[in-house]
């Protein structure tokens, strides 16, 4: 199959979505298919200019920023015209290359940006499969008069008219979309892990606690900092490494200063894709602290699989399908969400009972690789794409 993947994000460096797309491309190529990636536009991730090329080839996957730029315009007017240009060029590309496209795979599409793709694909008889990894309307639930809330609700309700199949990464999303798509057209694809990225053995630094990802409210980062400060009263040697794009930097730095832990906390900033495994492996404890929210419970954190692939112990809040896949105390230390005291206690216990937690990390890696290996997931994705033909 010739598979065109369309993504509104960054490449080859980017966030969790970029990592998942890389796994999909690699796995589908190993199964004998041809993948090509079209980027609608860049996100805030590339404001620093980490990605320098507007087109290229990454491990046999050609990619192109369709609007010929990989950074966002700074003005609203610039962003508007950038979007219009992207929409026009996408349509032109699909028409020109129709004979070389067997199926379209749309990653986490927003209907207000993709409606022209849905409609043109139908006119050109190109089958469409979409993947949703979050309940997008939940991002606007507190603004129920927002245009974006209603647009996303419309998309969630009616995208089945345009897409033949949909893949999701959590059981709650699966049940949600079954209402509109029906059982046969909704497919659960778990997280993906490329274990080869973690093949190089690195001895972790004692007491180095790590977090990677978004610094937003949904990931409970302020609670992580508070819990760390509390645990440090019991184990003074521990340090905290915060990795990723810091969109909430002012509040974070103020809290760190207020708690008097400036010398024990490191903010690395965004990491390159190839830097992530070593940085995670260097931590002898990793934290996933999503709060109890619709967003958290309908998605599934990509970071959890990468954490567990290190073989180091992980503390995670009990959101989404965490308890469905893992068992507290055996392969993962699971705590209730929104509970700073429970997180602090978990950190303290890690260094009170080192052997128990080390074994938990080993067991967690075995379990995660059995569940999330990208080859297994891509075999399922291949089946879905073939059904769409």
In the CATH scheme, what is the code of domain 2-192+373-388? 3.40.50.2000
CA distance 143 to 377: 35
Half-sphere exposure of 360 (CA within 13 A, CB side): 25
The closest alpha carbon to 107, from 25, 176, 49, belongs to 25
Domain residue extents for the chain: 2-192+373-388, 197-372
Radius of gyration of the chain (CA): 21
CA distance 347 to 294: 26
pLDDT in tens, the chain (389 residues): 999 999 988 999 988 899 999 999 999 999 999 999 999 988 777 777 788 899 999 999 999 999 888 888 888 898 888 888 888 999 999 999 999 999 999 999 987 788 899 999 999 999 999 999 998 877 655 545 577 777 777 788 888 889 999 999 999 999 999 999 999 999 999 999 999 999 998 999 999 999 999 887 889 999 999 999 999 999 999 999 999 887 778 889 999 999 999 999 999 988 999 999 999 999 999 999 999 988 889 999 999 999 999 999 999 999 999 999 999 999 999 999 999 999 999 999 999 999 999 999 999 999 999 999 999 999 999 999 999 99
Q: What is the CATH superfamily name and number for domain 197-372? A: Glycogen Phosphorylase B; (3.40.50.2000)
Half-sphere exposure of 26 (CA within 13 A, CB side): 19
Contacts of 162 by beta carbon, 8 Å cutoff, 6+ apart: 118, 119, 121, 122, 128
This prediction has a pTM of 0.93
2-192+373-388 and 197-372 in the same fold: yes
């Amino acid at each position: 199959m010739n598979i065109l993947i369309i993504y509104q994000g960054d490449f080859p460096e980017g966030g969790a979505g970029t990592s998942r797309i890389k796994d999909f491309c690699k796995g589908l190529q190993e199964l004998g298919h041809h993948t090509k990636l079209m980027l609608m536009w860049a996100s805030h991730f590339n404001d620093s200019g980490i990605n320098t090329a507007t087109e290229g080839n990454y491990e046999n996957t050609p990619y192109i920023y369709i609007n010929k730029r990989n950074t966002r315009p700074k003005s609203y007017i610039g962003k508007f015209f950038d979007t219009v240009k992207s929409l026009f060029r996408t349509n032109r590309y699909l028409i020109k290359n129709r004979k070389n496209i067997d199926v379209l795979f749309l990653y986490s599409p927003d209907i207000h940006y993709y409606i022209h793709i849905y409609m043109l694909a139908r006119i050109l008889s190109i089958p469409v499969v979409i993947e949703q990894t979050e309940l997008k309307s939940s991002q606007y639930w507190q603004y129920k008069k927002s245009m974006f809330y209603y647009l996303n609700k419309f998309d969630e309700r009616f995208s089945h008219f345009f897409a033949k199949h949909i893949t999701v990464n959590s059981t709650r999303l699966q049940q949600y979309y079954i209402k509109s798509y029906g059982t046969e057209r909704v497919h659960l694809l778990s997280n993906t892990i490329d274990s080869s990225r973690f093949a190089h053995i690195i001895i972790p630094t004692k007491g180095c606690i790590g977090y990677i990802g978004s610094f937003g409210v949904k990931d409970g980062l302020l609670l992580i900092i508070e819990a760390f400060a509390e645990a440090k009263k019991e184990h003074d040697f521990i340090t905290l490494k915060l990795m990723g794009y810091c969109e909430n930097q002012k509040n974070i730095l103020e809290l760190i200063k207020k708690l008097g832990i400036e010398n024990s906390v490191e903010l690395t900033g965004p990491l390159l894709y190839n830097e992530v495994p070593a940085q995670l492996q260097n931590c002898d404890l990793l934290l996933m602290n999503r709060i109890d929210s619709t967003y958290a419970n309908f998605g599934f954190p990509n970071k959890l699989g990468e954490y567990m692939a290190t073989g180091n112990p992980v503390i995670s809040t009990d959101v989404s399908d965490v308890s469905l896949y893992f068992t507290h105390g055996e392969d993962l230390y699971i705590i209730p969400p929104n509970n700073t005291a429970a997180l602090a206690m978990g950190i303290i216990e890690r260094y009170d009972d080192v052997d128990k937690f080390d074994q938990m990390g080993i067991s967690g890696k075995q379990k995660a690789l059995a569940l999330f290996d990208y080859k297994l997931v891509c075999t399922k994705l291949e089946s879905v794409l073939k059904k769409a033909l």
